[in-house]
């Protein structure tokens, strides 16, 4: 590997001069700067970021750990965070816990070893204990898509209870009185909150709680949605509407309805959650509760930057809760 000493020797200058050309070029005479830059290009020298971090005491890498990179929602969150980090001269290391507590712990340990600038994380561990290592190492972190009950932790989340309420209010207004909620792993807070919102909408409409039947899925993906759709069709009393905990589940349910020749929305209305890009592009455009994913990533990155720039003692932690929006499309509107 070519080092800074090799560049200095080839250019006939000191190591300090090479360092100035790289970091403070305005301090170096133009002729010398040009000669050093020519040698750097010829030798293919790349400065060691780890060595620079040791000298400066600050990493230029921000870590983002999400539950499922197969879900376009988290891709949009990452996009918002990456734009903000890039504007601040930082890079983003994106990792996927796959909803696994053990994988989450391994990644968090890696972040601590690499001494990243800070971590944006959607926790897989509902207890939050996996974050203790970051606390002990003094590495700042911000919770993403998860509200923090701890006033000493920043978080950016969406009001998922309100989102679940929006979805089922819409279905009730369309005349549905028998609704299935396709949820996911019970330890995922969002799954619980969206169901709570659905039940609140039923209560507000004077409908009994058993108007909502839950079908649980082991995962939050399309294959799990297809399986849930097949089980839905086997219910003794078939519902007329389905509310899914995310759009991937909803797309799987839609596929199951097509396979069984069930007309959507005339025989079965479907509402998803997240409003990913594929929702509008489905064979029957999917009604969905939109989460502001890109702004969520941007706000989380801004919070982390605020905490890592300047005096940490002056930083004020805050918990920002964004509001969802219902986007109505063909999957829940009966044809005229």
Q: Is the peptide bond before 209 cis (omega within 30 degrees of 0)?
A: no
pLDDT of 194 > 50? The answer is yes
Q: How confident is the model at residue 302 (pLDDT cuts 50, 70, 90)?
A: very high
- The span from the CA of 104 to the CA of 274, in Å, is 23
Q: Do 154 and 302 belong to one domain?
A: yes
Whether 285 is covered by a domain: the verdict is yes
Give the torsion sign (CA, 303, 92, 113, 7): negative
Q: Residue 311: how many CA atoms within 13 Å on its side-chain side?
A: 2
Q: How confident is the model at residue 22 (pLDDT cuts 50, 70, 90)?
A: confident
Strand order in the sheet with 269-274: 212-216, 179-183, 241-244, 269-274, 287-290, 325-327
Higher-confidence position of 198 and 152: 198
Give the CATH number of the domain where residue 150 resides.
3.40.50.2300
Residue pair 105/111 in contact (Cβ under 8 Å)? The answer is: no
Q: Which two tokens stand for residue 210?
A: 């058993």
pLDDT at 56: 46
Question: pLDDT tens, 280-301?
Answer: 999 899 999 999 999 999 999 9
Work out the average pLDDT over 240-261: 97
Q: How confident is the model at residue 187 (pLDDT cuts 50, 70, 90)?
A: confident
Provide the domain limits for residue 76.
Answer: 58-158+293-322
Whether 80 is covered by a domain: the verdict is yes
| Length of the chain (residues) | 336
pLDDT at 196: 97
Give the CATH number of the domain where residue 14 resides.
1.10.260.40
Q: How confident is the model at residue 48 (pLDDT cuts 50, 70, 90)?
A: low
Q: Do 115 and 234 belong to one domain?
A: no
Q: Do 286 and 192 belong to one domain?
A: yes
Q: Do 287 and 306 belong to one domain?
A: no
Q: How confident is the model at residue 32 (pLDDT cuts 50, 70, 90)?
A: very high
Q: Do 239 and 315 belong to one domain?
A: no
pLDDT at 227: 97
Q: How confident is the model at residue 181 (pLDDT cuts 50, 70, 90)?
A: very high
Report the percentage of the chain scoring pLDDT > 90. Answer: 65
Helix ranges (DSSP H) in the chain:
4-11, 15-23, 30-43, 49-56, 72-87, 101-114, 132-137, 160-173, 189-204, 222-233, 247-259, 277-281, 293-308
Q: Do 168 and 279 belong to one domain?
A: yes
Chain centroid to CA 111: 17
Q: How confident is the model at residue 150 (pLDDT cuts 50, 70, 90)?
A: confident
Question: pLDDT tens, 202-220?
Answer: 999 999 999 999 999 999 9
pLDDT of 53 > 80? The answer is no
pLDDT at 27: 87
Q: Do 186 and 256 belong to one domain?
A: yes
- The span from the CA of 36 to the CA of 59, in Å, is 26
Q: Residue 259: how many CA atoms within 13 Å on its side-chain side?
A: 12
- The span from the CA of 266 to the CA of 262, in Å, is 8
Q: Do 105 and 16 belong to one domain?
A: no
pLDDT of 264 > 80? The answer is yes
Mean pLDDT rounded to a whole number for the chain: 90
Q: Do 123 and 271 belong to one domain?
A: no
Question: pLDDT tens, 82-118?
Answer: 999 999 989 999 999 988 999 999 999 888 888 899 9
Report the percentage of the chain scoring pLDDT > 70. Answer: 94
Q: Do 214 and 316 belong to one domain?
A: no
Task: Indicate the number of domains in the chain.
Answer: 3
Residue pair 211/239 in contact (Cβ under 8 Å)? The answer is: no
Q: Do 77 and 126 belong to one domain?
A: yes
pLDDT of 270 > 90? The answer is yes
pLDDT at 54: 45
Q: Do 37 and 115 belong to one domain?
A: no
Residue pair 130/110 in contact (Cβ under 8 Å)? The answer is: no
Q: How confident is the model at residue 332 (pLDDT cuts 50, 70, 90)?
A: very high
């Amino acid at each position: 590997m070519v080092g800074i000493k090799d560049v200095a020797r080839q250019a006939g200058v000191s190591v300090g001069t090479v360092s100035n050309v790289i970091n403070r070029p305005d301090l170096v005479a133009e002729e010398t700067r040009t000669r050093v830059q020519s040698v750097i290009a010829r030798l293919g020298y790349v400065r060691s970021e780890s060595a620079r971090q040791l000298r400066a005491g600050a990493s230029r890498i921000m870590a983002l750990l999400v539950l499922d990179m197969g879900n376009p929602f988290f891709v949009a969150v990452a996009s918002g965070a990456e734009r903000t980090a890039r504007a601040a001269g930082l890079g983003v290391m994106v990792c996927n816990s796959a909803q696994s507590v053990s994988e989450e712990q391994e990644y968090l340990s890696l972040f601590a070893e690499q001494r990243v600038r800070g971590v944006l994380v959607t926790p897989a561990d509902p207890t939050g204990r996996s974050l203790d290592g970051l606390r002990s190492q003094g590495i700042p972190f911000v919770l993403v898509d998860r509200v923090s009950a701890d006033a000493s932790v920043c978080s950016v989340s969406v009001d998922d209870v309100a989102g679940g309420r929006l979805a089922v209010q819409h279905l009730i207004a369309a005349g549905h009185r028998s609704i299935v909620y396709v949820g996911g792993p019970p330890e995922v807070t969002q799954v619980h909150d969206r169901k709570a919102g659905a039940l609140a909408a039923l209560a507000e409409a004077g409908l009994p709680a058993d108007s909502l039947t839950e079908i649980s899925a082991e995962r939050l993906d399309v294959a799990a949605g297809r399986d849930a759709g097949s089980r839905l069709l086997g219910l003794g009393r078939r519902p007329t509407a389905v509310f899914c905990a995310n759009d991937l589940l909803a797309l799987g349910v839609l596929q199951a309805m097509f396979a069984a020749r069930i007309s959507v929305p005339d025989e079965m209305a479907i509402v998803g959650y997240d409003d990913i890009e594929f929702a509008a592009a489905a064979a029957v455009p999917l009604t969905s509760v939109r989460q502001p994913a890109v702004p969520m990533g941007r706000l989380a990155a801004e919070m982390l930057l605020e905490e890592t720039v300047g005096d940490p003692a002056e930083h004020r932690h805050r918990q920002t809760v964004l509001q969802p929006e219902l986007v109505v499309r063909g999957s829940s509107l009966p044809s005229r």
